[in-house]
Amino acid sequence: MLKVKIKKIISVILLIIIICLFLFFLMNTKNVLVKKENEKKTVVVTTFSSYDFVRQIAKDKVNLIFLLGPRS
């Protein structure tokens, strides 16, 4: 009789621990996904025509770098 009660208590405690761990990992995963959605991709271009094309299409969704820069 006592062994059955102990097994039930241990089972309930293990179930609670498993649920808590699942919730912890679920919350942590959401934070990682939100951070990745907010990060901008970096696009490097070498010609002005490709720079202008990407600038017009992507606008402020990417970090745009013109590799050659303005000619002097």
3 burial level (CB within 10 Å; 0-12, 13-18, 19+): exposed
Phi-psi region of 71 (alpha: psi -120 to 50; beta: other; left: phi over 0): beta
Q: Which residues pair with 44 in a beta bridge?
A: 65
The residues spanned by each domain of the chain are 1-38, 40-72
Stated as kind and residue range, the H or E segment containing 67 is none
pLDDT computed for residue 52 by the predictor: 92
Ramachandran sector of residue 59 (left: φ over 0; alpha: ψ -120 to 50; beta: rest): left
State the pLDDT at residue 29.
Answer: 66
Query: 7-66, pLDDT tens digit by residue?
Result: 999 999 999 999 988 888 877 766 555 556 567 888 999 988 999 999 999 988 899 999
Residues found in the chain = 72
